[in-house]
Structure 1
């Protein structure tokens, strides 16, 4: 079954992450199929705007840690030592470029976030042109605490340096309401109004000629890209691999294999585990 669904609805292409049984967690296939769906919409002369969403209870819960952290995964991002950084970089750079297909598409993309857009799921949501969240949804990049670096670097481009540091120095999750107040996303609305808010925006944009939409997007994106976005993303992708194969990253992987990724993630996010010593952190230091 396709892990990304596609539907043409008049001038709107509806793209949905489709692994609802695991809150649309990212596996090897999802980034590839996402980019294929975006390319399909971009090449369709009837489509003016894309709406990206997630099926089930969440937009995207990040990378599938049952696959990548608890088990051996594909060997691409969870390699045994000695680690091959170029193999790791090649895999993650491809994923980053698949996510960035949302940014590079000529036509605008609206991302609708409910439930969670966390870890790698936040990378996807923040590559869209406009992101609209339900007020009670949560977004964050918790692997900034250990075992990850956001490869798209969209946090800094949306928030600026200080607010991006506030998020990535803590790995905190924030609500859609807080994300809108920070300027991370366009807006947040009550959960029961999310569909209507996205549909209203998509319908309004769909009345604009495709060439006009494309030119405005290209000009705005160029203003960001000329600051060195691709170089920043390359560094972030390299660092992402290093975080997973640092002493702390390897200890996180071992802990996930020992107790399951849910407990390992809870220890990481709550700050109760010393990943350098690989032992429980004394309460006075939490």
Structure 2
């Protein structure tokens, strides 16, 4: 796959910087079936380009609003994000592990990846952002993993490593969406600045590390990543990827999927995130209701 073949990601090299841009602005850069592979290929291209020192990852207009629920959940019948019951965990793991491998190509990149987060990094978008080495966001951006309420578990599992055990639980138990300013204040994101200052703040940092030899950047990244990997990151991700599939095929997950197909994913997500959604522990028995 050449960069010219990309549909959902733009790749260009400007000076010593590989600029990787998520490019579905009409869908708030929501993740489709092309984006994972194209993002992984972009990282590979930058790693093997001797002229590139740093990779800058951003999105066109906004960062990323998560998986495209119209594609993965909103259509009638079986969608890429669900199966007919009984479901096959292997099939689900195969699909989600492919996405996780793509996001983790950022983590494994031999060259540093700097994220510029504008407006949103929600759901799968936060998975992508939190794999980056250095992160900047606008103060008013919205960052979180609301699918943790129903229908998702963050497969990159970066939350605990970035903010600690209790803060990770507080955020994921509630499906909380943080402002960029709040995310930076607790260490989830490295730095938050005003939206008008975001470009200059990122460019200034990138210009500073361009002056460092590529091998020195590599040495520092490998040592720091090793600390996190020794804490069990890769095993945690395997578990999270399995649980992500399980969460979409619980009775509540199946009911939520049906609700998205009935009223549209936007209204169903609003119900879920407001806490007002009524779901059934047994989707064949509407008399057994519970409030989430």
TM-score, length basis structure 1:
0.95
Shift of 1:239: 0.2
2:260 maps to: 256
Describe how 1:6-25 pairs up with structure 2 within 5 A.
6-25=11-30
2:182 is the alignment partner of 1:178:
yes
Q: Could you report, residue by residue, the CA deviation over 1:36-64 in whole angstroms, capped at 9, with x for unpaired residues?
A: 000100111111111000002x2000000
Q: Could you report, residue by residue, the CA deviation over 1:167-208 in whole angstroms, capped at 9, with x for unpaired residues?
A: 101001110000010110111000000000000011101110
1:217 maps to: 221
Could you say what secondary structure the match of 2:280 adopts? Answer: coil
Shift of 1:212: 0.3
1:151 maps to: 155
Distance 2:47 2:165 in 1: 32
Could you say what secondary structure the match of 2:174 adopts? Answer: coil
Give yes or no for contact 2:117–2:135 (8 Å, CA) kept in 1. yes
Of 22, 26, 44, the match for 2:31: 26
Of 155, 159, 165, the match for 1:161: 165
1:51 maps to: 56
Distance 1:72 1:240 in 2: 21
Distance 1:66 1:108 in 2: 33
Distance 2:105 2:76 in 1: 28
Distance 1:211 1:112 in 2: 24
TM-score, length basis structure 2:
0.93
Root-mean-square deviation over aligned CA pairs: 1.7
Give yes or no for contact 1:76–1:87 (8 Å, CA) kept in 2. no
1:124 maps to: 128
Of 251, 269, 273, the match for 1:269: 273
Unaligned runs of 5+ in 2: 1-5
Distance 2:142 2:193 in 1: 13
Distance 2:278 2:110 in 1: 46
Give yes or no for contact 1:72–1:78 (8 Å, CA) kept in 2. no
Distance 1:68 1:234 in 2: 21
Q: Could you report, residue by residue, the CA deviation over 1:214-243 in whole angstroms, capped at 9, with x for unpaired residues?
A: 010000000110111110000000000000
Shift of 1:276: 3.5
Give yes or no for contact 1:70–1:261 (8 Å, CA) kept in 2. yes
Runs of 4+ in 1 over 6 A off after TM superposition: none
2:84 is the alignment partner of 1:80:
yes
